Each structure stands twice: as C-alpha cells, then as structure tokens.
Amino acid sequence: MLKAYIETFQKYKYLLENLIMRDIKVKYRRSVLGVAWSLLNPLLMMFILSAVFSRVFRYEIENFPLYLIIGQILFSFFNESTSSAIFSIVEASSLIKKVYIPKYIFPLEKVLFGFVNLIFSIPAVVVMMLFYRVPFNLSMLTIFLPLLTLLLFAIGFSLIISALCVFFRDLKHLYSVLITAWMYLTPIIYPMSALEGSWIWYVARINPLTWYVESFRNALIYGTMPDLLSCWVCIGYGVVFTLVGLLSFKKLQDKFILYV
Amino acid sequence: MEKPVMVDVRDVTMEFNMSSYKVDSLKEYFIRLMKHELFFKSFLALDGVSFQVRKGDVLGLIGLNGSGKSTMLKIISGIMKPTKGSATAYGTISPLIELGAGFDADLTARENIYLNGSILGYSRQFMDSVFDEIVDFSELHNFLDIPIKNFSSGMQARLGFAIATVVKPDILIVDEVLAVGDFKFQEKCEKRIRELMSNETTVIIVSHSIEQIESLCNKVLWLNKGKVVKYGDALAICDEYKNA
C-alpha cells in the first residue's frame, strides 16, 4: 500500500518540479531584478517597519531590524504558501477533470514554491547579521530544525484547507481575514514579553508559528542551542499536521471531481 | 484466439448528488441548513454498465447529450471513482487533453511540451527523447520560444495532439478533441490514430460526428440515459443509431 504511494510520487515528482519551475519563471519573467526581489522585498519591508515601530514601542529589542526580518520572512512564507495553496485545487480544475493526477501535488507545489522563495530571501537575513556583526556560532546550524518542521506544518495545513476549499469556496475570503489575525498573534514585531499578563499571551503561546519564529531567532540572533521543549513542539506540530492533512485529504479527494 | 482484455468495465453505476442548487460556499450551506433546504437529488449518470474492450479495438461511445459518455471516459481513465462496480484498465492510458487544459499561457511552447508531458506522467528523459518528434508533428519549429498565449487555437490543438500521441500508449482516450483544427489537421489526426491502431493501441473515442465514428471504429457502445442500448459491431449500430 505505502509502496504504491511512493511509486506514484516518484512518477509525478517530475511534474512537481516542472510546476515549481513554472511558478518561478512566471513570477520572475520580465522583471529586471529577477530573483533579487526576494531579497529586496523583506529588506525594504524591514526598513519601513523598524523605522515606524522602533518609535512606537517602548520595549528594547536588541538589533530590532534583524529581529523583525526573521519573523517577517518566516511569516510571509507561511502566508504566501497557504494563501495560494487554499485555492490550488479549484484552480487546477480544468486539469483534474481531464487527466488523472494525484491531487495533493497542487497544494504541495504551492508550499514548496513558497519555500523556494523563503530560501531566496535568507541572504537578506545574512546581510543583516553581517551588518550587526552577530558572531558566528555553531548553534546557528540548528535553524534546519525550525525551517524543515515549519515546512511540514505548512504542507499539512495547506492539505487541509485546500481540500475544504473545494467544498466551501468562500473559505478563501475567510482565510484572508484569519491570516491577518494570525499575523498579529505571532510575535513578529513585538516580543512575547509584551503580552504577559493577558489572555492573548496564551493564544500566542499555542500558535505554532510563535514556536518556529522563536526557535529560528534563538539560533540566529542569540546563538543558543534549542531547548528540548521547543524541539518537540516544532516537530510535534509539523508531524501531527502533516499526518492529519494527509489522512483528511485522502478521505476527501475522491469527491473533488464532483465539486470542482 | 481472442485478444487480451484491455479495459474491463463491470456493472458500473455512477450516482451524483445533484442538489437542486449547487451549494459550494459556507454562507450558502448555513443559509440552506437554517431554511431546511439541504436536500439532495440523486441522479444516475451511469446505471449498471458492463463491457470489455480488447487489445487493438477502436471503441466509439455514442449517445445523445447527457447519456453518460464523458462520465464513462472519466471512470475508465481513473479521474472519477464509480459509486458501484469497477472499471479496470490494463496498461498505460493517455488521455488527449482538451485544448489548452494542460498548457500555461505564459510559458513558451518548449516549456509547455515538458510541462504537459509531466502532467501525463512522463519523465524528463522520455520527454527529451521524443521532443523532436513532437515538434515535427505539430510543425511549430519556428514558434518554439514564443509564449503559448500568442498561439492560435489550431496551433495549440496541434501541440496538444502531438504530445498525447507521441507515447504509443496501450489505451488512448479521445474526447471530442478531433472536432478542432482545420480539415488538414483533422486528417492528420485520423492518420495518427490509424497508425496507433496498427500498433495494437486500444482507442476509445467520444464524438458527435457519427461519420468519424464509422470511419475509425470497429466497436461501438451506444448509451442512453446511463444505460447500454447496444454494444457491438460499429457499422450495424451506427446505422441503427442514425435511424433512431
């Protein structure tokens, strides 16, 4: 059973590659700066946000722009990939009606495309780290843990919402509201300590993205090895969402054709 | 000796839940739930259809609109799962995708050939090896690096047909696509299908052109409202169908 799934995936791996390449080509074709936009975009956003919020906020965050840009690129990866994945199956309806293709390819492709963009924008973080002369530290190598488990979380989450969106198209609009709320509940521009004493703190604590952003920062800015708890939480959210996503997707996928 | 069975359709029933209004948003779902209007009307698109296609057969599906022809094709190619019964295809299936379905308008013809090939499940190595053949058949040598959106519909159809038939599949599925393009292109398509037939490819065609069915097929399945009216020799059934 599992072997058959892996074989099908092997067969359609080339399609996955092609679809990602297509998205990359379409995104950067006819733009003079090309891939450099993935680098410039977060840097420009960071300048604006840090200029404004370093005046608005009272709390002192060391290297605030660096703090900001990390939260920002991780969140915008999650935002872009899930927001485009949610409608990916509906968009591919003309194909789904004509050819047999494993349908998880479509949301998976959107998330992987978002991930490629995230990788492209990591040099922006490196630039800021050099600017602030953050000393190199072995614990920086542990960013792979939050990076890969965040990818898993995004894949699992996208599988669920893209499948539901086939049946309820207006989820797409609902999600754009939800993702904005989600952004404010993630410590991107403020520190977690700012929420202490309020019930909001607990909401932000349960929020998976909080854990990924913090683990990433701990490794890159503060040079600390990840503690056991955040390792398990990151892995836990990633694995559980991937499993739930795969199972619910599998259960719903045969009905897609009747609704797309 | 009888030739091996390539497609085995056993007692296939396809039931759709046709709500009188199609509910596809949460808002509507809740409104109808509140008003107690969420009833479903079941609709049988196919009702106990069984038949077998043998190697080298060219089967035409005929019937009026809504008789279940396209649903049958979708079930054979694995796009839909039947409510009851089973449809098993032995071998590789290549569907002739309708014009443009597998193309991305912003990509060039060259990129689209690879994209479309991968949609059909072919590997990069395979696409490399057949690339020239596809270009030759579609006669688009001078347009390879132009985005597909600047192509005429005939050019797109030529490209689509060339990609789908380059494989020598065990089973080729053709859904109304032959009705596009100029008469020269249609002739070329028919010639290609005949070539495939001599290669022992099994072909399943849906077409409203009864002449086309008569000239290409040796077997015909006549469907009406989801039920098999007749299955058998092409010429006899076509005659009957025309007089019906």
Residue-wise pLDDT for B54-81, tens only, equals 888 889 998 888 888 888 988 988 888 8
Model confidence pLDDT, tens digit, residues B159-216: 888 887 787 788 888 876 666 667 777 788 778 877 877 777 888 988 878 888 888 8
Rg (CA), chain A: 19
Which residues in chain A have their CB less than 8 angstroms from residue B121's CB?
Answer: 11-12, 15
SS3 call for B121: coil
Residue A18 to residue B102, Cβ atoms within 8 A:
no
On whether residue A102 sits in a domain, the answer given is: yes
Cβ atoms B179, B157 nearer than 8 A? no
pLDDT at B39 over 70: no
Residue A25 to residue B107, Cβ atoms within 8 A:
yes
Domain that holds residue A221: 66-259
Round to the nearest angstrom and report the end-to-end CA distance of chain A: 27
Q: What number of other Cβ atoms are within 10 A of residue B56's Cβ?
A: 16
Residue B26 to residue A170, Cβ atoms within 8 A:
yes
Which residues in chain B have their CB less than 8 angstroms from residue A99's CB?
Answer: 77, 79, 95, 97, 101-102, 119-120
On whether residue A138 sits in a domain, the answer given is: yes
State residue A150's pLDDT score. Answer: 97
Which residues in chain A have their CB less than 8 angstroms from residue B111's CB?
Answer: 22, 25
Residue A19 to residue B74, Cβ atoms within 8 A:
no
- Determine the distance in angstroms separating the CA of A95 from the nearest CA of chain B, rounded to an integer: 6
Cβ atoms A104, A159 nearer than 8 A? yes
User: Nearest-CA residue of chain B relative to A168?
Assistant: B25
> How high is the mean pLDDT of chain B?
83
- Nearest by Cα to A162 from A208, A75, A101, A104: A104
Which residues in chain B have their CB less than 8 angstroms from residue A12's CB?
Answer: 118, 121
Read off the tokens for A60: 């002192």
- Nearest by Cα to A106 from A94, A126, A91, A127: A91
On whether residue A24 sits in a domain, the answer given is: no
SS3 call for B61: strand
Q: Total domain count for chain A?
A: 1
Distance CA A187, CA A185 (A): 7
Residue A12 to residue B115, Cβ atoms within 8 A:
no
Is A31 an 8 Å CB contact of chain B? no
SS3 call for B16: strand
On whether residue A105 sits in a domain, the answer given is: yes
pLDDT at B21 over 70: no
State residue B179's pLDDT score. Answer: 60
State residue A115's pLDDT score. Answer: 97
DSSP letter assigned to residue B161: H
Distance CA A251, CA A48 (A): 45
Domain B96-168 matching CATH 1.10.8: the answer reads yes
Q: Are strands B84-89 and B5-19 parallel, antiparallel or unpaired?
A: antiparallel
Rg (CA), chain B: 20
How distant, in Å, are the alpha carbons of A29, B103, B106 from that of A24?
Answer: 8, 16, 12
Read off the tokens for B235: 């010429």
On whether residue A28 sits in a domain, the answer given is: no
Read off the tokens for B142: 């001078």
Residue A25 to residue B97, Cβ atoms within 8 A:
no
Distance CA A111, CA A77 (A): 8
Read off the tokens for B31: 């409104």
* Domain segments of chain B as ranges: 1-34+42-92+170-244, 96-168
Which residues in chain B have their CB less than 8 angstroms from residue A259's CB?
Answer: 24
Which residues in chain A have their CB less than 8 angstroms from residue B114's CB?
Answer: 18
E strand spans, chain B: 5-19, 40-54, 58-62, 84-89, 93-96, 171-175, 202-206, 219-224, 227-233
Distance CA A211, CA A186 (A): 9
Residues in B whose CB is inside 8 Å of some CB of A read: 16-17, 24-27, 29, 74, 77-81, 93, 95, 97-98, 101-102, 104, 106-107, 111, 114-115, 118-124, 175
SS3 call for B11: strand
State residue B99's pLDDT score. Answer: 55
Residue pairs spanning A and B at CB distance below 8 A = 75
State residue B180's pLDDT score. Answer: 60
Model confidence pLDDT, tens digit, residues B90-103: 888 877 656 556 78
**What is the pLDDT tens value at each position of chain A, 260 positions in all?**
788 888 888 889 999 999 999 898 888 877 777 778 888 889 999 999 988 888 887 777 888 999 999 999 999 999 999 999 999 999 988 888 888 889 999 999 999 999 999 999 999 999 999 999 988 888 888 999 999 999 999 999 999 999 999 999 999 999 999 999 999 999 999 999 889 889 999 999 999 999 999 999 999 988 888 889 999 999 999 999 999 999 999 999 988 888 87
User: Nearest-CA residue of chain A relative to B174?
Assistant: A98
Residue-wise burial string across B127-153, b where 16 or more C-beta atoms lie within 10 A, e elsewhere? beebbeebbebbebeebeeebbeebee
Round to the nearest angstrom and report the end-to-end CA distance of chain B: 35
SS3 call for B243: helix
Residue B118 to residue A170, Cβ atoms within 8 A:
no
Residue B121 to residue A174, Cβ atoms within 8 A:
no
ipTM of the complex: 0.79
Provide DSSP, chain A. Answer: -HHHHHHHHHHHHHHHHHHHHHHHHHHHTT-SSTTHHHHHHHHHHHHHHHHHHHHH--S--TTHHHHHHHHHHHHHHHHHHHHHHTTHHHHTHHHHTTS---TTHHHHHHHHHHHHHHHHHHHHHHHHHHHTTPPP-GGGGGGHHHHHHHHHHHHHHHHHHHHHHHH-TTHHHHHHHHHHHHHHTS-SSS-GGGGTTSHHHHHHHH-HHHHHHHHHHIIIII-PPPPHHHHHHHHHHHHHHHHHHHHHHHHHHHHHHHH-
Which residues in chain A have their CB less than 8 angstroms from residue B101's CB?
Answer: 94-95, 97-99
On whether residue A120 sits in a domain, the answer given is: yes
SS3 call for B20: coil
Residue with the bigger pLDDT between B40 and B29: it is B29
Amino acid at B22: K
Residue-wise burial string across B97-126, b where 16 or more C-beta atoms lie within 10 A, e elsewhere? bbbbbbbbeebbbebbbbbbbbbbbbeeeb
State residue A113's pLDDT score. Answer: 96
Domain B1-34+42-92+170-244 matching CATH 3.40.50.300: the answer reads yes
Residue A99 to residue B77, Cβ atoms within 8 A:
yes
User: Nearest-CA residue of chain A relative to B118?
Assistant: A15
Read off the tokens for A46: 């960071």
- Determine the distance in angstroms separating the CA of B24 from the nearest CA of chain A, rounded to an integer: 5
Distance CA A213, CA B188 (A): 59
State residue B92's pLDDT score. Answer: 81
On whether residue A7 sits in a domain, the answer given is: no
User: Which of B81, B107, B123 is facing A14, going by the closest CB pair?
Assistant: B123
Distance CA A62, CA A23 (A): 37
User: Nearest-CA residue of chain A relative to B95?
Assistant: A99
